Amino acid sequence: MYDLSCAGVTKKFGPFTAVSDVSLNIPSGSFFSILGPSGCGKTTLMRMIAGFETPSSGDIRIKGESVLSIPPNRRNVKMVFQNLALFPMMSVGENIAYGLRCRGDVRSEIAGKVARVLDRVSMPGVEDKQIDQLSGGQKQRIAIARCMVLEPDVLLLDEPLGALDLKLREHMKIELKQLQHRFATTFLYITHDQSEALVMSDQVAVMNAGRFEQIGTPKELYRGPVSGFVAGFVGDATCLPGTITDIRGQQARVALDSGGQVIGCLCDESGTGDAVEVFLRPEAMQICSGNDDTTLRGRVDSLLFNGANSRVLMRMGSGQIIEVAETAQADPLTEGAQIAVSWRPEQARIFARRAE
Amino acid sequence: MGRDAGRLSLILLFTPFALWIGLLIVLPQLGIGYVSLREKVGVNQYEFGFGNYADFFGEPIYRNTLLRTAWMSILVTILALIIGFPIAYYIAKLARARIRAALFLMCLIPLWVSDLVRAYGWIVLLRETGVVSTVLVGAGLITEPVEMLYNDVTVVIGLVYTVILFMIVPLVSTLQGMDDALLEAGYNLGGSRFTVFRRIVVPYAMPGIVAGCIITFMLAAGSYLTPILLGGKNSSWFTEQIYNQFITRYNWEAGATFGVLLLVFTSLVVWVGLRLTGQSLVTTVARKD
């Protein structure tokens, strides 16, 4: 039983296809993210689920029931808007009570429900505050409380962290995840920020140009991307364009556009002579020379210290920069030093070149 | 040096405003107030007292004219709000960006023509030998021409037409500031169209509604041309009384008294309106977000 499922959902605006044949199934109580660059159709998809747009074809089911014929105000999916859309002319308590009153709850029960949900988002006793008295993070929590008080089947979140500053955003990521656990409700989260999606989600769908490229757990997407788009969009990776010269089993030899040859793992149906890209994760490379076919040489361009996430940028002769994770080194690197980086062939992924 | 220059420019900017307010508004009002408290006891003999006000309250026709003017102005304000709100909503929220400017401009075009010409337009349409009457007779709907001028309905129609712009403009500017996401959130949380309108659109637009209502009410109550031209001799508009006292009867004391009473009375109506809607002049003029 899925809380939310979409089957072949397509949305066209005139000749433009915003969402193309999207299918997904979200199990009860999970945190599901849709990750994609802006303009990929993720907001359109969410608006169709909320009922503000009608799909050109396909079906949307909530708890197994098709909701296409149900107007937005009767669907039990609630939405946290990008700018939160809290009602500025109402107090916090009235904002939360709004939905309950629309639903026709008994007047005497409303105050109790509002107080309980405020308690659950750790903001007890703020009923009488005005919206503009709240901080960014508090507004966020009120926006979630306003939806959760209605006990929705699915909570939709449309890039709600976008307007927050970085520090608060990091904090809210963890808090959102905890809230989702506490409410045990299905969250559908939309974002263009891969770290938000990876940190919070049970499952992530990577969306590009109106289609789902891949659906999987954050680990699966990171470790086993199925396309160049996913490999490039999820996590950091250095991307080296080139052409396949030879294929042996899973391994392919690629002549790089910038000169030299490398061996990697062929991950799609590209054949000899096809234009491809080789993706290398920073932590998949070691700073030491290895086999000729899995080694690149260059100079240290810069050292980026960031605690456990420190990076070395190596500039190759062609000018291409390669990002390598810096692990504990016996002798510290200095800028300008000659180094070599190597990897195991299965850790270099080769995909057909993406459209520019 | 810099501060002196700043002070100088402030003084230079402020002077025309102070002169305008002082010479054209405050001083004449004080003069009117002074004249209204002057009782004529003989030729060029005056006493200070409230006799003129007592005369006003003692004469039912004056009282009734003022009340009638107020009621009709309130009616005009309500009609302008009812008709203007959908127009403003359409311009601000539903029309596409390109059409929006054109529609707004079309609302402003009538302002380029003087009140007099616009009132005359209504006369051309509505008089016994006018366009409407002739067409109706020609179509066989009525047997003989009818006079549609010189009654209250015509006065109200004419006034609504004259003042509705001043209702639409503040409404459009408030509604334009409203994020569509507020409406969508209103529906998403389970609100019907009516609930969203009543609990979200109207409260959000309230400052604009109040501003528009104050302007239209004041304009309607203080208008002279439209009621006279469309209502004729029987229009009994209070400004007409003031005019009569000043010009026809050369009774400046009574005219000044009426002028003060009109100002006080309309201000009172606005104050009551503000209290009833829970708004203040400050929130109406400037939004605090």
Out of 1.10.3720.10, 3.90.1150.10, 3.40.50.150, 2.40.50.140, select the CATH number for domain A236-352. 2.40.50.140
Residue among B189, B206, B209 with most chain A CBs within 10 A, to mutate: B189
pLDDT score at B130: 84
Model confidence pLDDT, tens digit, residues A242-270: 999 888 888 888 988 888 888 888 888 88
As a whole number, mean pLDDT of residues B196-210 equals 92
All residues at 6 or more sequence positions from A307 whose CB lies less than 8 Å from its CB, including other chains: none
d(CA A121, CA A114): 11
CB contact under 8 A, B190 and A146: no
- Please say whether the dihedral angle defined by the alpha carbons of residues A306, A310, A316 and A322, taken in this order, is positive or negative: negative
Whether the pLDDT of residue A54 is over 70: the answer is yes
Average pLDDT over residues B70-96: 93
Contact A74 B289 (CB under 8 A): no
Residue A78, min C-alpha distance to chain B (Å): 6
Which amino acid is present at A237? A
Task: Kindly give the pairing relationship between strand A211-216 and strand A203-208.
Answer: antiparallel
Dihedral (Cα; B170, B176, B177, B178), 10-degree rounding: 120
Q: Do A353 and A241 form a contact (C-beta atoms < 8 A)? A: yes
The alpha-helical segments, DSSP class H, found in A29-90 are 42-50
Can you give the pLDDT at residue B284? 65
What percentage of chain A reaches a pLDDT higher than 90? 39
Q: What kind and span of H or E run contains A210?
A: none
Whole-angstrom CA distances from B167 to A83, B74, B101, B154, B216 are 30, 13, 17, 20, 6
Report the pLDDT value the prediction gives residue B286, as an integer from 0 to 100: 57
- pLDDT higher than 90, residue A293: no
Q: CA A282, CA A285: separation in Å to the nearest integer? A: 6
Closest by alpha carbon to A278, among A222, A232, A341?
A232
- Give the torsion sign (CA, A233, A238, A241, A244): negative
CB of A99 within 8 Å of any CB in chain B? yes
Whether the ipTM is more than 0.90: the answer is: no
Across the interface, of A85, A86, A102, the residue whose CB is closest to B191 is A102
Tell me, what's the pLDDT at B252?
86
Q: What is the pLDDT of residue A95?
A: 94
Question: What distance in Å separates the CA atoms of residue B156 and residue B79, rounded to the nearest whole number?
Answer: 9
Is pLDDT above 80 for B235? no
Whole-angstrom Cα distance, residue B202 to residue B212?
A: 13
Tell me how many domains chain B contains: 1
* A228: its two tokens: 């160049």
Q: What is the pLDDT of residue A187?
A: 93
How far is the C-alpha of B117 from the C-alpha of B106, rounded, in Å? 18
Take residue A34 and report the two structure tokens written for it.
Answer: 């849709």
Which amino acid makes up residue A43? Answer: T
| Binary contact (A72, B195; C-beta < 8 A) | no
Cβ-in-10-Å burial (0-12, 13-18, 19+) of B2 comes to exposed
CA distances B34 to B29, B62, B160, Å, are 8, 20, 34
CATH 2.40.50.140 domain span(s) along chain A: 236-352
Domain contains B176? yes
Indicate the pairing of strand A154-158 with strand A186-191. Answer: parallel
B58 pLDDT above the threshold of 90? no
Helix (H) or strand (E) holding A244: strand A238-248
Chain A hits for B206, CB-CB cut-off 8 Å, are 89
- What is the arithmetic mean of pLDDT over B15-21? 90
- Per the domain annotation, does B21 fall within a domain? no
Site from A47, A62, A87 to mutate, B interface, most B CB atoms within 10 angstroms: A87
- pTM for this model (two decimals): 0.80
Residue B182 touches partner A, C-beta closer than 8 Å: yes
Mean residue pLDDT across chain A: 88
pLDDT (tens digit per residue) in A194-218: 888 888 899 999 999 899 999 999 9
pLDDT at A356: 62
User: What's the residue count for chain A?
Assistant: 356
Question: What is the location of CATH 3.40.50.300 in chain A?
Answer: 2-229
φ, ψ for residue A190 (rounded to 5)? -110, 130
In angstroms, the CA B200 to CA B186 distance is 7
Could you give the CA distance from residue A254 to residue B35 in angstroms, rounded to a whole number?
Answer: 101
What pLDDT sits at residue A188? 93
Looking at the partner chain, which of A52, A71, A99 has a beta carbon nearest the beta carbon of B189?
A99
Q: Chains A and B: how many Cβ contacts under 8 Å?
A: 66
Please give the Cα distance from A218 to B267 (Å, whole number): 66
Cβ–Cβ contact A132 with B under 8 A: yes
- Interface contact flag, A87 B185, Cβ < 8 Å: yes
B289 to A99: CB separation less than 8 angstroms, yes or no: no
CA distance B203 to chain A (A): 7
CATH number at residue B119: 1.10.3720.10
Region A91-107 average pLDDT: 92
Query: Residue B184 and residue A99: Cβ atoms within 8 Å?
Result: no
Q: Distance from CA of residue B74 to its chain's centroid?
A: 9
What pLDDT score does B48 carry? 84
Burial B153-185 (b: 16+ CB within 10 A, else e): ebbbbbbbbbbbbbbbbbbbbbbeebeebbbbb
| Structural domain range at position B216 | 61-285
Distance in angstroms (rounded) separating the CA atoms of residues B222 and B216: 10
Between CA A231 and CA B98 the distance in angstroms is: 42
Are the beta carbons of A323 and A283 closer than 8 angstroms?
Answer: no
Q: What is the pLDDT of residues A132-158, one digit of tens each?
A: 999 888 998 999 999 999 999 999 999
**Residue B45 forms part of a structural domain:** no
Residue B146: inside a domain:
yes
Q: Left (φ > 0), alpha (ψ -120 to 50) or beta: where does B156 sit?
A: alpha
pLDDT category at B83 given cuts 50, 70, 90 is very high
- Is residue B236 within 8 Å of residue B68, measured between CB atoms? yes
Residue B49 in domain: no
B66 within a domain of the structure (yes/no): yes
Residue A305 has pLDDT above 90, yes or no: no
pLDDT for res A195: 86
Q: Which pLDDT value is given to residue B287?
A: 53
Residue B144 DSSP label = S
* Residue B99 predicted with pLDDT over 60: yes
Contacts of B209 in chain A (CB under 8 A): none
Question: Apex CA B241: angle with CA B235 and CA B246, to 5°?
Answer: 145
* A163 near B CB under 8 A: no
Write down the CATH number for the domain with range A2-229: 3.40.50.300
Q: Note whether residue B52 is domain-resident.
A: no
* Interface list for B 101-130 with A (CB within 8 A): none
pLDDT at B288: 45
Across the interface, whether the CB atoms of B204 and A79 are under 8 A apart is answered no
Q: A329 falls in which pLDDT band (50, 70, 90)?
A: low
Dihedral (Cα; B176, A100, A141, A206), 10-degree rounding: -80
> Could you tell me which chain A residue has the CA closest to the CA of B196?
A102
**Residue B102 domain-assigned (yes or no):** yes
